[in-house]
Chain A
Amino acid sequence: MSSAVVESDTEFVALPVIHHARAAAAFTSDAARTDWHDESLWLVRKKRDVAAAAVPEWEELRALASAVKEHTLGRLDEYLVQFEKNATENGVHVHWAADADEHNRIVAQILRERGARRLVKSKSMLTEECGLNGHLEADGVEVVDTDLGERIIQLAGDTPSHIVMPAIHYKKEEIGTLFNRTMGTQEGSADPQYLTEAARADLRKRFFAADASLTGVNFAVAETGGFVVCTNEGNADLGVHLAPIHIASMGIEKLIPRADDLGIFLRLLARSATGQPLTVYSSHFHAPTPGREIHLVLVDNGRSEQLGREAFAAGLKCIRCGACMNTCPVYRRSGGHSYGSTIPGPIGSILAPNRDMKKYRELPYASTLCGSCTDVCPVMIDIHEQLYAWRQEETRAGVQPPFKRLSMLFAGMFLGRPRLYRLGARLMRFALSRLPRSAIYNRWNAWGRERELPQLPEESFRDWYVRTGGTSE
């Protein structure tokens, strides 16, 4: 093992690969801010716990939700056809997009054909995934994100760091400065009530002037051909009902079979996301107001491929509540941007490698495998097990960086040969007690970068076991 190998990897393959650990190190270099971020999210996690505990049948609901999704994904082709038929009969225009680019072209074409230049948009992680805003802006469309968090992000020229709370990484003083610059709010004012009021007034003008609106989709119901959009602010509905054209973008995995299945999912979604019993608005769309249009774009963009990966298909059950992020000790202390993918956190770390295993190879390591994500997941996705499975998958596919490959090779060699292991352990004990500090605490010792190694006991476990036969002394 030469250090040159490692160097060349980190230096030359750096561009296409997301370096979570490096980005996280930059984030945590501001300790006070890291603590603040950590605590903000932990607060949301605690609210979720209170809300979940208030529902005696919580665990049963999780199991039901998981089973409904499991069933639906197994016959997704059937449900998609059923949904399309019913939605079309309701008067909804259904479009199909194989990938992000096709999705963007479809949306752009709908707007172009109708001469729509001003689009108001509610939160949609799918359109973030597809990079829709940039595509439309290049086409001359004015795109306004209307969810307050998304609006902050848009004005700042930033990207969301959380799927439910996109601007969770901003302090109110920073938003005050941003609003002062972009909306002319009072200088130095950072009162959330005042800033929200300013955004309300500014966006209201844009809602009333819009030619078209775009929303995401939380759930689509096969048996009725309708879809449900959940928001707290009312921005999705204000946009949709004021503008003559409503475009809804949805991933093909958002389907559920029956209207009554919504009872299960709506009971879980808001409680998991923010600790509310229900989002303020759960809007059910089936047909447009006479004279208006609803377009629904069904997007694949890698989902059908993921469905074919047995170990990872369950990730498609995700209902985007964000609970796994709020609970994750790594996410809370590394920030959403460190993941370099639209969906960060534990769920993002098992979804992203489906798209590009090499680019996102570090994400499955952005976890302690503590399993808290799996415990809070309302649809019981085995997130931490998939994080572990991705690590193995990466090794099999040969996309691990050389350092990781070699260290695993050596670890395997030692751990698989008891004699060699014992000899190594003996040498290690000897070396640790004799070597100078600089030889132990260096760049290769990632563990020791922030911590002291534990004090070694006088006697190793094996020596103790051989001496006593495992009986207590």
Chain B
Amino acid sequence: MNSRDQILSRVGQHRYDSPLPDLPSFDPPEGSVIDAFGRAVETTAGKYVNCYADEVAAHIGRIHSRADRIASTTGLVNGTVDLRDDSGSQVVGSIELFVCMAELGVAENGAVWITDSRLRSRAALFATQHLAVVVRRDSIVWNMHDAYRRITINKEGFGVFVCGPSKTADIEQSLVIGAHGPRSLTVFAIE
């Protein structure tokens, strides 16, 4: 018997019935979900900007005034790096700022859901020195249950919840922002 059948047969010997619970739903607290989202982004050491779509580029120009190599997959911001599906690691590794859209935001933790179709290069999202993500205000949900109800995780090959800039506390529990991934995250909530 091969290992697959061996494992399945061993596991199959210990079957029992236990009900699968229904998925829960919890109401948001009082107050604006959008505001809660903004506060949550800041709690994760991210920067939060609430603005109109046509103001994003100006904000980015101000926040990241020194970034030359900008890759953008959204029409809201013009990039300086030509990022393609087949961009090699040299291109990806040189990105200073990556700008993309998120499909949805989660107010309870400040996370944004980003998938393949908004990325062009999966590696760019993690290799960039700084990250800016744009999310539409009407796509912000309260909690993770609401988020999973809204998204289809296997619609695309890859999807990720990003919740703040990359960080570590592996040296004596001291929080350091910018471990291997982006050193900063700016989240724009637009009309």
Contacts and interface: CB of A to CB of B under 8 A. Distances in A.
A257 B152 CA distance: 15
Interface in A247-277: 252, 257-264, 266-267, 274, 276-277
A196 interface: yes
B123 interface: yes
A237 B125 contact: yes
A233 B92 contact: no
Contacts of B89: 208, 242
Interface string A78-114: 0011000000001000001110001000000000000
Contacts of A75: 15
B144 interface: yes
Interface in B130-176: 143-145, 147-149, 152-154, 156-174, 176
Chain A interface residue bracket vs B: 35 or more
B19 interface: yes
Contact of A166 (B4, B106, B170): B170
A274 B169 contact: yes
A7 interface: no
A116 to B, nearest CB: 16
A449 interface: no
B31 to A, nearest CB: 14
B127 interface: yes
B123 A74 contact: no
Contacts of A175: 171
Interface in A144-179: 146-149, 152, 165-168, 170-172, 175
B124 to A, nearest CB: 8
B8 A280 contact: no
B13 interface: yes
Interface string B1-38: 01110111111111111111101101000000000000
B72 interface: no
A238 B73 CA distance: 19
A77 interface: yes
A61 to B, nearest CB: 8
A112 B187 CA distance: 43
Contact of A193 (B110, B127, B152, B176): B176
B172 A281 contact: no
Nearest to A262: B148
A278 B44 CA distance: 9
A287 B157 contact: yes
Interface residues of B, number: 73
Contacts of A146: 180
B105 interface: no
A233 B181 contact: yes
Contact of B7 (A96, A195, A280): A96
A192 interface: yes
A308 B16 CA distance: 11
Contact of B154 (A60, A170, A172, A259): A259
A168 to B, nearest CB: 8
Contact of B20 (A44, A56, A221, A257): A257
A298 B11 CA distance: 13
Interface in B95-115: 106, 108-111
B79 interface: no
Contacts of B172: 40, 170-172, 192
Nearest to B171: A192
A64 B11 contact: no
B57 interface: no
Nearest to B167: A232
A448 to B, nearest CB: 36
Given A224-B153, A241-B126, 17 more contacts: A56-B26, A70-B18, A77-B11, A197-B178, A232-B166, A233-B181, A238-B123, A241-B121, A242-B123, A259-B148, A263-B143, A274-B169, A281-B162, A286-B157, A289-B122, A304-B10, A305-B10
Interface of B: 2-4, 6-21, 23-24, 26, 40, 43-44, 89, 92-93, 106, 108-111, 121-123, 125-127, 143-145, 147-149, 152-154, 156-174, 176, 178-182
3 cross-chain pairs, A with B, having the tightest CB-CB distances, nearest first: A234-B181, A287-B157, A277-B109
Interface of A: 40, 43-44, 56-57, 60-61, 64, 67-68, 70-71, 74-77, 80-81, 90, 96-98, 102, 146-149, 152, 165-168, 170-172, 175, 192-193, 195-197, 200, 203-204, 207-208, 221, 224-226, 232-235, 237-238, 240-242, 252, 257-264, 266-267, 274, 276-289, 298, 300, 304-305, 307-308, 313
28 contacts: A67-B19, A71-B20, A71-B21, A77-B15, A81-B8, A90-B154, A98-B3, A146-B180, A172-B172, A207-B180, A208-B93, A224-B153, A233-B181, A238-B127, A259-B152, A259-B154, A260-B23, A260-B148, A262-B153, A263-B147, A264-B145, A266-B144, A267-B108, A278-B163, A285-B158, A286-B158, A286-B159, A304-B14
